[in-house]
Structures are given as structure tokens and as C-alpha cells.
């Protein structure tokens, strides 16, 4: 959470204080190891903004991510993002260019399929005879969909920051000392921090024995269209910074020659659908 400068945005003192309390509560309630929960970013809405945190937990063969969110108005308490059914994910995909309101409970009704009439469900009562409100698609579902998309496309790690251990599990490299100056200026030194999608990386992760750094992750340099990412040094030439043109507000930083690196998102949560005309 300490490096927000490239985005030109940050958190106020009250937002940061509330978020620190909320993240501490999550760590305690979920019994998460120290350092496993970190600030992911901020998604701006019309009436309020969302603050998002991510927990990284061991999983085979690739670490799993669990996301939590709160709003700037209630930054002291976080909720886990809901899982999305296939129906909800498909509906969220139709709303990907719709701006956020900043209201988690705001409904986005799923229209009936062509040729089908809208069905009004019979009310369901609880043990006290009170009506149970049916599950509906809300903005928190849309938020979960957008965060997953942005994280998969724009969360970056440098070469060597993660390795495959003896159990063939992807883990953080405890001895990582960072990239040299020249390597830090090359886009091929950076990779998507997600389960690999390319056939080459998937095969590398599945093969027995030693797996070379970079072989089991997808390089961001291979993203289509070419030019999706911009890489530059900061004025002091001690920091390499990457920005995404497809997800404006997504940044990565690496302090050259050190193990200090990270990704942050500070934007409206919407993709740049005109990117093909810009490159």
C-alpha cells in the first residue's frame, strides 16, 4: 500500500486508518499469516469508491487469491467478494463498460432470455415465517468480476520473484534480490501473476524436475495487441515502472536491485476498449 505515486492517487489518512483496521480484522478472523493480505487497489464509483485487498494462500500448484472489499465510507469493515456462478459471470460480462455507482447492494437485474418470460418466484419463508429475499445480481458481483479481470491482466511480478519448489508448487522466492538495471528495462523480464494460460507455460509447470524462472508464467510481452504495457524508469533511475493501457490505473513498480516490487490499481474499473486504435 506504500507505493501509489505512479497512479497519481492515494488514500486519505482516515481511509488508510480504517483500511488498516479492516485488514487486521480479516487477518484475525481468517487466521491469515502475517504478510499474506495486502492492499490491491481502489475502484472509483459515482457515489463512493471501493477499496480492495487480496489474500494469497498456498495452493497446488499455483497460489490462490481471495479478495475482500469495502467502501471509502465504511473503510473500517471488509467483506469477502462473492463467488460468481456461470450465469452471474455471463451477466457481469455484459456490464463491463458500465461505470460503478459505489453501492454494493445495488441490483442489476438479469433480463430473461430471448423467447422466455420473466418468472416471478414464489416467496420463500424462514423458520419464523418471514420472507427470505431471493438472491439477485448486485454491484458487488460486478465488482468481483472486474477485479478478477484486472488482476489476471495487470498484476505483474518480475523474473525470479517466484519459483517452483521440490513439491512442484509455485512459491515466493525467499532469496529474491531483484533485477539488474538492464534486465529491469526489458518487458520480457516481467510476468502475469496468475495460473498460466499459455500451453508453453502450462507444460513447463507440469513437467517433473527443475523449472527455470520465467518458464512457468506468461510473459506480459506476449500480450495482444502488442504495446499493451509501457515500461519506463523513474527520474532517479532506481525504479522500473509498468503501466497498463488496457486497464488505465493499473501500475507495477520494481525497485531495481532489491526484492521490493508490487502492483496497484487506482482507476474506475473500466477497460480501454479503444486500445487497438491507439497502438
The number of beta carbons lying within 10 Å of the beta carbon of residue 248 is 17
Q: Between 207 and 240, where is the model more confident?
A: 240
User: What pLDDT, on the 0 to 100 scale, is given for residue 2?
Assistant: 46
State the chain's maximal CA–CA distance in angstroms: 69
Tally of residues, the chain: 279
Give φ, ψ of 57 to 5 degrees.
-125, 150
According to DSSP, the β-strands at 37-43 and 261-267 are: parallel
| In the chain, alpha helices (H) | 13-30, 86-93, 139-154, 181-184, 199-206, 275-278
Mapped onto helix, strand or coil, the DSSP state of residue 53 is: strand
Q: Between 167 and 191, where is the model more confident?
A: 191
Q: Mean pLDDT for the chain? A: 89
pLDDT in tens, 70-110: 999 888 899 999 999 999 999 999 999 999 999 999 999 98
Of 252, 279, 274, 208, give the one whose Cα is nearest residue 4: 252
As given in the structure block, the three cell numbers for residue 214 are 520465467
Amino acid at each position: 500500500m506504500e507505493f501509489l505515486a505512479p497512479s497519481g492517487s492515494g488514500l486519505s489518512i482516515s481511509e488508510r486508518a480504517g483500511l488498516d483496521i479492516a485488514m487486521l480484522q480479516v487477518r484475525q478472523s481468517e487466521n491469515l499469516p502475517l504478510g499474506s493480505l495486502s492492499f490491491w487497489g481502489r475502484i472509483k464509483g459515482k457515489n463512493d469508491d471501493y477499496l480492495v485487498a487480496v489474500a494469497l494462500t498456498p495452493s497446488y500448484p499455483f497460489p490462490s487469491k481471495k479478495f475482500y472489499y469495502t467502501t471509502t465510507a465504511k473503510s473500517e469493515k471488509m467483506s469477502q467478494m462473492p463467488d460468481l456462478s456461470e450465469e452471474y459471470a455471463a451477466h457481469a460480462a455484459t456490464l463491463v463498460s458500465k461505470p460503478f455507482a459505489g453501492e454494493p447492494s445495488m441490483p442489476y437485474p438479469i433480463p430473461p432470455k430471448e423467447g422466455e418470460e420473466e418468472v416471478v418466484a414464489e416467496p420463500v419463508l424462514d423458520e419464523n415465517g418471514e420472507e427470505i429475499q431471493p438472491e439477485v445480481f448486485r454491484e458487488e458481483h460486478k465488482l468481483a468480476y472486474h477485479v478478477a479481470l484486472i488482476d489476471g491482466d495487470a498484476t505483474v511480478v518480475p523474473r525470479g520473484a517466484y519459483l517452483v519448489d521440490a513439491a512442484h508448487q509455485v512459491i515466493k522466492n525467499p532469496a529474491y534480490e531483484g533485477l539488474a538495471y538492464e534486465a529491469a528495462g526489458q518487458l520480457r523480464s516481467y510476468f502475469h501473476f496468475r495460473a498460466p494460460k499459455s500451453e508453453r507455460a502450462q507444460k513447463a509447470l507440469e513437467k517433473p524436475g527443475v523449472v527455470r524462472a520465467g518458464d512457468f508464467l506468461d510473459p506480459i510481452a506476449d500480450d495482444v495487441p502488442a504495446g499493451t504495457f509501457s515500461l519506463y524508469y523513474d527520474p532517479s533511475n532506481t525504479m522500473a515502472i509498468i503501466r497498463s493501457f488496457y486497464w488505465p490505473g493499473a501500475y507495477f513498480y520494481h525497485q531495481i536491485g532489491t526484492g521490493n516490487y508490487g502492483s496497484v490499481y487506482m482507476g474506475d474499473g473500466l477497460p480501454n476498449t479503444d486500445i487497438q486504435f491507439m497502438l
